[in-house]
Structure 1
Amino acid sequence: MRQFTAVVNPTAGGSTGAAALLPVARLLREAGAGLETEYSRSLAHAQELALRAGERGRVVLAVGGDGIAGGIGGALSGTDTVLGLVPAGRGNDFARALRLPTAAADLTRVLLHHEPRRVDTIEVESAVHPRTVVLGSVYAGVDALANQHANQARVLRGAASYYAGGLRAVTGWRPVSYRVTVDGEEHFHRGYTVVAANSAYYGSGRIIAPLALTDDGLLDVVMIRQAPRRLFFTLMNELKTGAHVARPEVVVLRGREIRIEADRPVPYGADGEVEATLPVTARVRPGDLSMLF
């Protein structure tokens, strides 16, 4: 029977992290599995707890949103430790990409009985963050600014906070001239954003890269070009279905290493946690993490 250590972000989803774990914990223990619970004080502390648990041969459960999932997943990338997710954040986009069930009983069956599978991770490198590893995506431009606004939201949660953050970001945004280098080939792009995606989802369920797979050894690069603001709002709505990729204003490339630069200081983010300024390089690490899904 598997032995688990749950690392909980107590502030996830507006302090619902612990509550999300309770029914799963009860079912795991009723099935005879061992479970320890650790509460993190910060992302660095959560990574430390996860690494220590992994060294003892335990399955690590990241309890929270994409920030703690990406942070712990990045820390365990390249190790033999198995990671499971108990989604409890605002976005839960990597859990969505893995098609994890939301019902406690179904999720518990996955954690107890599914065999671990390998997924890709993303190594992120910039002047501020010499080496960070995340799971879902790296995004530069208006969506990074929107995510900052969403993180600062006090009233709205989930998709509503991201949508409101997007409206606020777009209102004052001026198009940027990007240089995007994909596996050594340069692409010049003027517009709103560039996303290097391992997961199809970001921003609380928005399908930024519909064909992205977490285990194909590639990143999908989505670039949204300059367009009238009215059309950009239409594109935002089309992110619900992924229909935006059919528009001429959207370019999709694929590659293993992506370098994003801009003609002015532009924010970038990764998995809702890393916040810095371009330039940034994202490299895929094929099959570098073992997960339950």
Structure 2
Amino acid sequence: MSLKTQVIVNPESNKGKTRQRWNQIKEGLKSFLKEFKYEFTEKPFQATEISRLAIKEGTELIVGVGGDGTINEIANGFYEEKKIINPKAALGIVPSGTGCDFTRSLNIPLGLKKALNVITHAPSSLIDIGRVRYKSHSGKEDERFFLNVSDFGIGGEVVKKIDENRMKRKASSYLKCLISTYISYKNKRIHIKVDGEDLPVDEYLIGTISNGRIFGKGMKIAPDAKLDDGLFDVVLVKGMKKLEFFMNVWKIYSGTHLSHPKISMIRGKKIEAFSADEEKEVLIEVDGEQVGTLPATFEIVPQNILVKAHL
């Protein structure tokens, strides 16, 4: 490929295996991309800085090596002051993380050579991207873009628990943390607006604002979501009793959960969510990262970023 290319690597992704495999990944990149620069990230949000600077310097292809969190940071670097820096710059992905849910919606295979083949031979496809404004942990309003799924409710609590386990060097899976979190979780009363229309205030276990189809390491939360239709698939799960929850949670992995009477799906371009009990904190997560709390506003930015993929 003759495109000016920057590769951004999160060496700690996939529990540090990306660092161990780097020589193999680098040789694969050389055989497919020929010339490229690469840089390792060493701290949170550094991938955003590297990506943004590279695009400003004329880079045409940014390749991310890591999981969903790394790819989210890189995608945020495509923007400055809420606007795309260079609409012709494209994102390529080499999946190498514990969570690679977004790549499944893009039909990017997990194998190194197959993923590199997509980068070199797939078209640059315009996809939608989400933008969310939320309350950060410091209490200030913050904003970021997301490629895959953002959610409020138990999802943020699960990601928080996974992060805590990681700090303690405990092994944890999303499903294991979901179940252990659910046992003590109290449903939250949420006020939701979809494109300006109020939904009845109700108790929700989770609400997902989905651009992609899959989150939570394999859960097909929004099985019919499309990345280029200009709409979110909003999946709302009302509170369930324990037996009901455990009998139905497995259905999310097969994408057969939407027929449940306590689960609804609605499409929209702008979603607003507020805690109906202001003293109760409701966490949100964005592409697998726990970033803050409600209130939050989610807006779709249609067909705004180029990604190497076969949609």
Shorter-chain TM-score category?
over 0.9
Of the three residues 106, 111, 116, the one matched with 1:98 is: 106
Question: 1:196-219: per-residue Cα shift (whole Å, max 9, x none)?
Answer: 110111111111111111111100
Report the equivalent of 1:68. Answer: 70
Report the equivalent of 1:183. Answer: 195
AA aligned to 1:231 is: E
Question: Are 2:87 and 1:87 aligned?
Answer: no
After TM superposition, the structure 1 stretch with the greater mean CA deviation from structure 2, 97-106 or 280-289, is: 97-106
Report the equivalent of 1:193. Answer: 206
Q: What TM-score do you get using the length of structure 1 for normalisation?
A: 0.93
Tell me the secondary structure at the aligned position of residue 49 of structure 1: helix
Q: How does 1:144-183 map to 2 (within 5 A)?
A: 144-153=156-165, 154-156=169-171, 161-183=173-195
AA aligned to 2:242 is: R
Question: 1:201-245: per-residue Cα shift (whole Å, max 9, x none)?
Answer: 111111111111111110011111122111112232111101111
Q: What is the rounded CA distance, in whole Å, between the counterparts of 1:21 and 1:255 in structure 2? A: 41
Report the equivalent of 1:120. Answer: 128
Q: What is the rounded CA distance, in whole Å, between the counterparts of 2:284 and 2:33 in structure 1? A: 44
Query: What is the count of residue pairs matched by the alignment?
Result: 290
When residues 43 and 58 of structure 1 are mapped into structure 2, their CA distance, relative to the original with a 3 A threshold, is farther
Contact 1:139-1:193 at 8 Å conserved across structures: yes
Report deviation, 1:98: 0.6
Question: Are 2:285 and 1:272 aligned?
Answer: no
Q: How does 1:215-254 map to 2 (within 5 A)?
A: 215-254=228-267
When residues 54 and 171 of structure 1 are mapped into structure 2, their CA distance, relative to the original with a 3 A threshold, is same
Q: What is the rounded CA distance, in whole Å, between the counterparts of 1:284 and 1:31 in structure 2? A: 33
Contact 1:148-1:165 at 8 Å conserved across structures: no
Contact 1:212-1:220 at 8 Å conserved across structures: yes
AA aligned to 1:149 is: K
Report deviation, 1:14: 0.5
Report deviation, 1:32: 5.7
Q: What is the rounded CA distance, in whole Å, between the counterparts of 1:32 and 1:184 in structure 2? A: 46
Contact 2:159-2:290 at 8 Å conserved across structures: no
Q: What TM-score do you get using the length of structure 2 for normalisation?
A: 0.88
AA aligned to 1:206 is: M
Question: Are 2:147 and 1:135 aligned?
Answer: yes
Q: What is the rounded CA distance, in whole Å, between the counterparts of 2:21 and 2:205 in structure 1? A: 36
Q: What is the rounded CA distance, in whole Å, between the counterparts of 1:164 and 1:201 in structure 2? A: 17
Structure 1 unmatched runs, 5+:
none
Q: What is the rounded CA distance, in whole Å, between the counterparts of 2:272 and 2:248 in structure 1? A: 24
Q: What is the rounded CA distance, in whole Å, between the counterparts of 1:176 and 1:145 in structure 2? A: 12
When residues 7 and 32 of structure 1 are mapped into structure 2, their CA distance, relative to the original with a 3 A threshold, is closer
AA aligned to 1:177 is: R
Question: 1:53-90: per-residue Cα shift (whole Å, max 9, x none)?
Answer: 22222311111111111121122152322111111111
AA aligned to 1:170 is: Y
Of the three residues 254, 260, 264, the one matched with 2:273 is: 260
Q: Aligned-residue CA RMSD in angstroms?
A: 1.6
Question: 1:172-200: per-residue Cα shift (whole Å, max 9, x none)?
Answer: 11121111100001112312111111011
Report deviation, 1:147: 1.4
Report the equivalent of 2:38. Answer: 37
Tell me the secondary structure at the aligned position of residue 122 of structure 1: strand
Question: 1:156-178: per-residue Cα shift (whole Å, max 9, x none)?
Answer: 25xxx101110121011112111
Q: What is the rounded CA distance, in whole Å, between the counterparts of 2:19 and 2:37 in structure 1? A: 13
Tell me the secondary structure at the aligned position of residue 100 of structure 1: coil
Q: What is the rounded CA distance, in whole Å, between the counterparts of 1:49 and 1:20 in structure 2? A: 22
Q: What is the rounded CA distance, in whole Å, between the counterparts of 1:219 and 1:283 in structure 2? A: 8
After TM superposition, the structure 1 stretch with the greater mean CA deviation from structure 2, 187-196 or 31-40, is: 31-40
Q: Percent identity?
A: 24
